[in-house]
Chain A
């Protein structure tokens, strides 16, 4: 158990719908990362937050948005869902941005299936 909690574990929804994925980082971790993992795209970085502020943005679609709340948990919102959004969404957290405490700890992921 990495200490990073993601809910829900599985989600099945229809095209055009909107879902929210939740991530609780390890206690004390300030940085949260979101990744999308699909068979054909590998592990794609979506977005990073540090202590409530957006730190870096990757290949995140405009239909997707995220935020980190004052209690440091984070939510990833996916809207106008398409079949191609079906993937495993991972959240990771780290204490520091760099140095010996910068390793990222991953959650178990949320498997999203869009039908």
Chain B
């Protein structure tokens, strides 16, 4: 069965630190990849997406992610985090068959001022 793994469950960083959140998926075919963010008490919002082309994608608020096909990974990065980045981050995958939207278990990020 297809799955999405997010290895970091809780991450605590100081402001200005660099961030990298891991995401691996298990699916042998073509996929579309996403990172979503959920601020406290809010709904999920799209940070960035990859469906083809340049494997390095840039999203909103200074986030970027790199798709490494050989590693089945789509890690999220930000060079310098801010207190306002405190949120839950979800990696998601949809196979090109269009069935389902697989979400990882989420990573809770706390940024300390």
Contacts and interface: CB of A to CB of B under 8 A. Distances in A.
Interface in B27-82: 32, 34, 36, 42-46, 49, 51
Given A90-B44, A106-B45, A42 B106 contact: yes
Given A99-B32, A102-B51, A102-B94, A45 B100 contact: yes
A56 interface: yes
A102 B102 CA distance: 13
How many chain A residues sit at the interface, stated as a range, is: 20 to 34
How many chain B residues sit at the interface, stated as a range, is: 20 to 34
A79 B32 CA distance: 34
B2 to A, nearest CB: 11
A50 B97 CA distance: 13
In the A-B complex, the 5 residue pairs with the closest CB atoms:
A97-B98, A106-B44, A106-B43, A56-B100, A98-B98
Interface of A: 2, 33, 35, 42-43, 45, 48, 50, 55-56, 58, 90, 92, 96-100, 102-109
